[in-house]
Amino acid sequence: MADKYRIQGGTQLKGEVNIGGAKNAVLKLMASAVLAKGESKIYNVPDLTDVGIMLEVINGLGVKTSHNKIEKSVTIDATNITSVTAKYEYVSKMRASFIILGALVSRCKEAIVALPGGCAIGERRVDFHIKGLEALGAKIKIENGYVHAKAPRLVGTDIYLDIPSVGATENLMLAAILAEGSTRIQNAAQEPEIIDLANFLNTMGADVNGAGTSEIVINGVKQSDLHPIEYTTIPDRIEAGTFMSAVVASKGKAIIRNVFPAHLTFFTDKLIKMGASIKLIEPTAIEVSCKNRLNSINFVTQPYPGFPTDLQSMAMALLTTANGVGIITESLYENRFMQVPHLLRMGADIHQDRNHAIIKGVKKLTGATVSASDLRAGASLVVAAIMAEGTSIVENLHHIDRGYENFDKKLTALGANIIRYNDETENVKGLKNESRV
């Protein structure tokens, strides 16, 4: 049976919380480990549904893997690859697994990868991936729901991305690692996860320059130049932003550890403008607090270093009870306001006009039964439930499990009144309670 959260709102969050490894980085590092023959080990790996899916994708290639959940590490032995097919049953569940395309084309000169799936937050086409690979010399056919790429010889070239797509940037970086000559990716994505991927590849023996800027240059190396490595993933800036939001929503005070503050500069600035207090207490720790009712702000989601689309829904939850009227413009995905109808059930005053949301602050939210429609929308409903008066039920937790490790346990440690359950366990508890009467 599907798990749910029961959340009693109105409790101030206090204490400390440790942020895990970045989901959007570690999945790409796992795929990249396939490039080098031998056994690589990645640390600071969160125990997420998406990590399990990526392991299944890699296992399907004949690569040996192991996942040590206590040590928070994965080991990937890519000495041998026996298949170049990434099956639909796995790739359809998680868009990030599509990056295996670039890794396979680079190392095996061929790849058969299912078209990607993941959260239904809008159209995320693979055109940029395909055009870039073709520019490098790959021959590509799309049939029966699969991308079939063959590239006996990849040659470096200049590639311009119409938009700074994170996935396309990453796929083309991997494809170019073993190409002849130099590849220049212009209008490249600049996210911290791109820098982490470049650092991983360079540690492995690749030659990647400019990651974190709009122009990345990859000088091709030989297969024999690549070697297995040990590497530690960066902290998850989106998880950090989610807990920052939850603390502010509860009018609490907490220390958030294992965070790179520079990765959250734009989001932090907006929270401070709303009335939150955020202090750097250590190089990788911040203190977040909020005493008074927040003030409304306007913002537009943008590629990094702008306001992150993955934290838009969290900010919307905060704006529902802020002073005044706030306007959010979602510039990246057309279906990224899927939390709106659920926030309305909790008493929010939100008017949506295509990619604009106008949020008029109300006095309070009230508990309701709501459902996670995607990963970040689901997390925002948890934040809203923490700030609401009364009890909320959040359903469809499988979406939240894709990106948050032990979400309820971490919130409980901060003092939140949150219980994870399903109808079967609830019935069993009910029977036990009745037997005691």
pLDDT of residue 118: 46
Say how far apart CA 359 and CA 368 lie, in whole Å: 19
Collapsing DSSP to helix, strand or coil, 410 comes out as helix
**Number of residues in the chain:** 437
Share of the chain above pLDDT 70, in %: 95
pLDDT of residue 290: 97
Quick: pLDDT tens for 43-70.
999 999 999 999 999 999 999 999 999 9
- Contacts with 395 (C-beta within 8 Å, 6 or more apart), sequence order: 2, 4, 369, 370, 371, 372
Q: Which of 433, 314, 423 is nearest to 4 (CA)?
A: 423
Q: How many CA atoms lie within 13 A of 4 on its CB side?
A: 18
pLDDT of residue 204: 98
Say how far apart CA 426 and CA 23 lie, in whole Å: 31
Share of the chain above pLDDT 90, in %: 88
pLDDT of residue 332: 86
pLDDT of residue 120: 44
Contact assessment for residue 66 and residue 106, using Cβ atoms and an 8 Å cutoff: no
Query: Structure tokens of 430?
Result: 């009910």
pLDDT band at 436 (very low <50, low <70, confident <90, very high): very low
**DSSP result, 248-283:** HHTT-EEEEES--GGGGHHHHHHHHHHT-EEEEEET
Examine the pLDDT at 4 and tell me if it is beyond 90: yes
Quick: pLDDT tens for 131-186.
999 999 999 998 888 999 999 999 999 999 999 999 999 999 999 999 999 999 99
Q: What is the mean pLDDT of the chain?
A: 94
Query: Structure tokens of 23?
Result: 């989901």
Structural domains of the chain ordered from first start: 4-20+235-428 (3.65.10.10), 23-229 (3.65.10.10)
Examine the pLDDT at 396 and tell me if it is beyond 80: yes
Amino acid at 341: P
Contact assessment for residue 146 and residue 115, using Cβ atoms and an 8 Å cutoff: yes
Q: Give me the sheet containing 349-353, strands edge to edge.
A: 299-300, 325-329, 356-360, 349-353
Torsion over CA: 344, 348, 349, 352 (sign): negative
pLDDT of residue 336: 85
Q: Which residues are part of the catalytic machinery? A: 119
| Cβ neighbour number for residue 68 with a 10 Å cutoff | 12
Cα 39 to Cα 79, 153, 172, distances in angstroms: 7, 26, 23
Cα 49 to Cα 3, 180, 196, 403, distances in angstroms: 14, 37, 21, 7
pLDDT of residue 427: 54
**Cis previous bond, 341, omega within 30:** no
pLDDT of residue 121: 35
